[in-house]
A and B are shown apart, each in its own frame.
Chain A
Amino acid sequence: MAARKTTEKSNSSKDDLLHYYREMLLIRRFEEKAGQLYGMGLIGGFCHLYIGQEAVVVGLEAAAEEGDKRITSYRDHGHMLACGMDPKGVMAELTGREGGYSRGKGGSMHMFSKEKHFYGGHGIVGAQVPLGAGLAFADKYLDNKRVTFAYFGDGAANQGQVYEAYNMAELWNLPVIFVIENNQYAMGTSMKRSTKSTSLFGRGLAYGIQGEAVDGMDVQAVRAAGEKAIAVCRAGEGPYILEMMTYRYRGHSMSDPAKYRTREEVQKMRDEKDAIEHVRELLLGGGHATDDDLKEIDKEIKLRVNEAAEFAKDSPEPGLAELWTDIYA
């Protein structure tokens, strides 16, 4: 793919572009910081970074309305930040502290916020897909015109329960948008080594579900597709599948040696498709912002992330009695 030209026109407003820029940058800086804290031993276990995929959640959240729900896998930090959860609470959960969204009991892969309608954070590949359809089932039952975004990966797309969920979601016209974040790899397994049915949204057609592939590195395209899918669902004609073509720059988790792809492949994506760089060019090229304006935003974001990290370090470990709480309602 050729490098984008800075002269590309955008149909987004200045405010929208600045919003995308801020939100995506927040995720990227947050994730970089999380990587650092992991290296320092402050975060343990599995930690899956979202770097590279920021446009997907930021674009879709821009299309969503208050009350819409979202659910995803263990690669969940970006989703939480994009739906308005506090970076401090997310980071403190990563460090396993009392100030975390699950009071330290869930960790990177298992975080939730009922207030922000974020239903996790799930560690079992594919499990969140029927769960997402179930959230939509509840919305339809309650007739509240909400939609649910059920995010999952290209690897998860091979799990059988995804197709069981597809079948029922279409059968019952559930207002759920299945968002496949196709970053081309499931751990070390590339798409072409795991399936010959490589159009993932196309698989939904067999169940009668409408869908499309979207350039997931282009936040404007993501938002537009999201708006269309949401309209379908709110009209009672869901579900809908969005296959977001995206890419993760980092390893699968912090412990992935990433020998299954070349450094050049990653670099090429960063150079030519980076979603943040894209919006930056639109802002500058469209005369919406100056370099200094953007530097100011960068500073502001850095400060927020540092504050989150400080909070996450200073927040105490959960009290020992917490071991025995929350097992039963």
Chain B
Amino acid sequence: MAIEILMPALSPTMEEGTLAKWLVKEGDVVKSGQILAEIETDKATMEFEAVDEGIVGKLLIAEGTAGVKVNTPIAVLVEEGESADAAPAAKVPAAAPVAAAPAPVAVAAAPVAVVSKASADWPEGTPMKTMTVREALREAMSEEMRSTPEVFIMGEEVGEYQGAYKISQGMLDEFGEKRVIDTPITEHGFTGIAVGAAFGGLRPIVEYMTFNFAMQAIDQIINSAAKTLYMSGGQMGCPIVFRGANGAAARVGAQHSQDYAAWYAMVPGLKVVMPYSAADAKGLLKQAIRDNNPVIFLENEILYGRSFEVPDLPDFTIPFGKARIWREGSDVTIVSFGIGMQYALEAADILAKDGISAEVIDLRTLRPIDYDTVLASVMKTNRCVTVEEGWPVGAIGNHLSAEIMMKAFDYLDAPVINCTGKDVPMPYAANLEKLALVTTAEVVEAVKSVCYR
């Protein structure tokens, strides 16, 4: 049977090339591995080897031809006594498979009714207890460690020191050195070890003293933890939680005051949680530990000591991808998460006195994001302001604005405003630090602006 030799792709980006030179002529016997031709790609001149054996029946493309598309037949190999015309009619190369299952591309469609997903996280009448965010996080981890032997925590100063921010206080006593593991200051190394342990069947919780130091380890988080399930065709998941303080603390300067919400929220394969209240910290951390995917859990040093009501239930989790409506309102939607909620809620109080009724939504998880609750609210209020501590370029608020524009454009009575941290590294000086952070006053002003007040 005659065999067609096709123009090869000799670099990952090559679409066409020049057939610079034939090194065989019609009638030659070729062996597999023999150099047939020299081909110039977009990057280099490459030698093109024969894969099959046979006799060169016909050279279809003349030496020196430029712009030969990849997969175009360039020659025909025949067997002894066979004619080159026996080759199958040159056919148009099969087109690259067009996305069979297209990614859900947002199309500017006529607005459809969207139903909010926000609903109560626990049954009415559940007894509540007051707890700090710190205690809630500790309870979440301890409960999961009691019920699941594969769960362990590792990080700097989590054991004997009782946690740099005292989140793991007492846990070494209860769970012992095997499961509460002090590491040297080697973020990239211990993150890799934890990811490997997750591949190996354990469920690690990795504490970063702060997320600023996770930058040492971000390669393992993204290239190893987030992508391996996909790269292994679904075989090898990575159930792991990366948690720690994120964002600005107070006066600790540029290298220790950064919000990574938008960074991690960009990465498919990661889930990203950023709780505000103690109840959410507890319910979402338990959920994160049970999740079979890598979860980035962004805490906040300033919130650690804040107290909230937490349901007093033996086992309480909050699903990812479900926002919480903290306050219902009719004039404007304020969307935030993490410490941004503090400014959002304060602003709503101030605005209420001015007769502006704000609906305040806490996203709680940034991947997945509960778009429906945001859209349903915006379709009701027709105005939206987003609030976050991170930088303004590529912010979560930017993304939400785009989503709102695509799905609810006709409902908007004003452009969405993103309130963010300023576009500068965090300064140390007290007066400048205040300016760099997003403030309640800025949120109030933004709301008034979208309300044309």
CB pair B189–A107 under 8 Å, yes or no, is no
For the complex, give the distance between the alpha carbons of A221 and B249 in Å: 41
CB pair A318–B164 under 8 Å, yes or no, is no
CB pair B184–A124 under 8 Å, yes or no, is no
Any A CB within 8 A of the CB of B250: yes
CB pair A323–B185 under 8 Å, yes or no, is no
- CB within 8 Å of A: which of B405-448? 422-425, 427-432, 435-436
CB pair A110–B185 under 8 Å, yes or no, is no
Any B CB within 8 A of the CB of A193: yes
- Given A317-B429, A318-B432, A322-B432, decide whether A107 and B251 contact each other with a Cβ distance below 8 A: yes
CB pair B255–A158 under 8 Å, yes or no, is no
Residue-wise, chain B 60-84 has the 8 Å CB interface mask toward A (1 for contact) of 0000000000000000000000000
Residue-wise, chain B 249-268 has the 8 Å CB interface mask toward A (1 for contact) of 11111111000000000000
Q: How many contacts between A and B, using CB within 8 angstroms? A: 126
- CB within 8 Å of A: which of B172-222? 182, 184-186, 188-189, 212-213, 215-216
Any B CB within 8 A of the CB of A36: no
CB pair B252–A46 under 8 Å, yes or no, is yes
- CB within 8 Å of B: which of A168-225? 186-189, 193-195
Residue of B nearest to A47 (CB): B251
The listed residue (A161, A193, A317) touching B431 by CB distance below 8 A is A317
> Could you say which of A156, A161, A318 has the most chain B C-beta atoms within 10 Å of its C-beta?
A318
B216 partner residues in chain A, CB cutoff 8 A: 124, 126, 159, 161
Any A CB within 8 A of the CB of B280: no
CB pair B182–A44 under 8 Å, yes or no, is no
For the complex, give the distance between the alpha carbons of A132 and B55 in Å: 63
Residue of B nearest to A45 (CB): B251
CB pair B161–A260 under 8 Å, yes or no, is yes
CB pair B185–A159 under 8 Å, yes or no, is yes
CB pair B431–A187 under 8 Å, yes or no, is no
The listed residue (A122, A193, A320, A324) touching B424 by CB distance below 8 A is A324
The listed residue (B249, B425, B432) touching A104 by CB distance below 8 A is B432
CB proximity of B453 to chain A, nearest CB, Å:
27
Any B CB within 8 A of the CB of A146: no
For the complex, give the distance between the alpha carbons of A260 and B182 in Å: 13
Any A CB within 8 A of the CB of B370: no
B435 partner residues in chain A, CB cutoff 8 A: 320, 323
CB pair A189–B428 under 8 Å, yes or no, is no
CB pair A107–B182 under 8 Å, yes or no, is no
> Could you say which of A105, A122, A158, A186 has the most chain B C-beta atoms within 10 Å of its C-beta?
A105
CB pair A107–B156 under 8 Å, yes or no, is no
CB pair A322–B427 under 8 Å, yes or no, is yes
> Could you say which of B189, B429, B432, B435 has the most chain A C-beta atoms within 10 Å of its C-beta?
B429
CB pair B252–A159 under 8 Å, yes or no, is no
Interface residues of A (CB under 8 A from B): 44-46, 93, 96-97, 102, 104-110, 122-126, 155-156, 158-161, 186-189, 193-195, 259-260, 317-318, 320, 322-324, 327
